[in-house]
Structure 1
Amino acid sequence: MTNKQTVSELMDHMLQVGNSVETLQILNEEGEIVNEAAMPELTDEQLKELMTRMVWTRVLDQRSISLNRQGRLGFYAPTAGQEASQLASHFALENEDFILPGYRDVPQLIWHGLPLYKAFLWSRGHFVGSQYPEGLNAMMPQIIIGAQIVQTAGVALGLKLRGKNAVALTYTGDGGASQGDFYEGMNFAGAYNAPAIFIVQNNRYAISTPVSKQSKARTIAQKAVAVGIAGIQVDGMDPLAVYAATSEARKRALNGDGPTLIETLTFRYGPHTMAGDDPTRYRTKETENEWEAKDPIVRFRKFLEKKGLWTEEEETKVIEEAKEAIKEAIKLADQTPKQKVTDLIENTFETKTFNLEEQAAIYNEKESK
């Protein structure tokens, strides 16, 4: 207790929490190291592998947009601009770790072990796209905004109770941080000291609503204070900073120090999804140009080129390999038998209800003709 400050002064002090949040950056826009102390220990091969994944995923995004426009994919949420936030965070994980992605986080699933053709089938709404290989520690992409936060708390607690040396990591956007599930999930994980990592990819707009209209909090990272867990804000266009923050959060979780909230400041270059969103209606060209100058791939390329680790020839090779892999995966997806109504009925419940039994009989007869 204190009698040296007025009630008003104490309240004002609490409001200053957001003002003291600093953004972690290691690599600036010119590919120069600006924070040597925070530099993660990554070998040259690891640095090249991370760049490979980022370039490969940018190609995947471009091809997925094209396939969507051709009517060969269903739901698709563009990822260009968020490669550092998505892939550098995933790069800090191990196969034993469990990821619970949002609908924009399909790239992390692929690099965690999901066959690409299944990712395409998931986009089409085909049930085979949700049949994961044995040993793939992941949930399907969550469509309900923020629901994966509560699920992650449960998975993390399960890992702890089973004595697993692993963490549960989830992703959501800034819009997800405005949901009730966001607070509930983090509070539960914090209360039970569960090994969870919550990554909020603050790409500035929840569909079309800017962050400034979603919350009065100056940062999303500071919301960790309310539930008593660690929080950090990171330059989400800087792969080294994202990797360093996630690696430290994982280490803390495994050491029994509880969950961490990581806010990555990033930007999606495309629309929210390919389902009719037009970002020109709520974003200015000046804003888009500002963030394009921070492109995570360009920044990392400059860094690697200065170290003599990356060339135009190597990048071209990765691009061609990605195109070929995508071509083969879409062919596999096309060859998968079409989903039938009876498939949907069979996959709804383990034991069909009486009305589903009736519907199954009707559609079995129709489909047998």
Structure 2
Amino acid sequence: MAFDSNIKLGVLGGGQLGRMLIQSAIDFNLDVHIIDPDENAPCKHIATSFTVGKLTDYDSVMAFGKDKDVLTIEIENVNTKALKDLRDAGKKVYPQPEIIKLIQNKLHQKQFYAKNGIPTADFKATATKAAVAELKEMLPFVNKLETEGYDGRGVSVIRTEADLDKAFDKPSFVEKLVDFEKELAVIVARNEAGEVTTFPTVEMVFHPVHNLVEYLISPASISPEVEEKAQTLAKTVVNKLEMVGLLAIEMFLTKDGEILVNEIAPRTHNSGHQTIEGNVTSQFEQHLRAVLNWPLGNTETVVPAAMVNLLGEDGYTGEAQYEGMDKVLAQKGVHIHLYGKKLTKPFRKMGHATISDHDIAQLKEKINFVKEHLKIKA
């Protein structure tokens, strides 16, 4: 697709990912139209147009898409039948509806990896809590819902038989608990012409209780061999899918140096926020380039960067107040991104901080400084 700033781009989802996508689209004079069920979604005041509508409702998505040229997503929980019908009516829809539908179901994701020889942890499908209990010889394992899981929800770690009461009594699967060295992520982009680029591998650190990314460092502290392996695997996954758009791939680095795919997301992702300041091209610009079939951007690291999620403090619900912001803003190389959410609640993603420094030791000190001093309360 030749560059045209008059393209009407429709995005299903108006959260912080959509907000940062719009911020990137402004650089290209692109009009971005948003549909979201929340009338106060973060995109509301900066979108070219904002429609309140349910993303899983066929008629709402059809009505929204009928006058758009290109449609994309910032969340997977959307009506893929409507997106298929819009594509049949001549709209460009990326990522493709079939791929969104596949990724909506975590079991189908795992089956896709197995079918295509993509390394992943051993797993077995389970329909009931009783079926999970029958697999106790696989302990320890993780029980994951097929659908409805995000940001740590729909995941239950079961280490011993005593934990089996935490199993899900609905369609799910068990996955062998991986004894990993590090959790990594690679963001890969592919455009309609088949051009593929990857961002440098990042290292993620998760909150010990809430299974959310607490912070990440880019590039990851891994050997060149592991970096090569992760990059190659990311390209393999996106090419096997033949997907157009941006794909975030979460991976485990095992104690014996193997890379296993954990989960994928067909959109911009928490593991790529640091690219706004840390890389030549941000993940948000790359998403636009991919779905509009423009040449993909340079993904090289400009400066090592960390991303710290700014979460609502436990025990506070109400209008957000930011304690310690002045101290954090006084730190060299700290850039704050707030998501336009007026109300905070425990562990809600309210924003992120990007921290850049050529010295990795100082980068880690600044991560701890931000975590210690910036508190979001009510």
TM-score, normalization by structure 2: 0.29
Higher strand share: 2
Instruction: Decide which structure has the larger Cα Rg and report it.
Output: 1
Structure with more contact order per residue of length (Cα contacts < 8 Å, sep ≥ 6): 1
Q: Identify the structure with the greater helix proportion.
A: 1
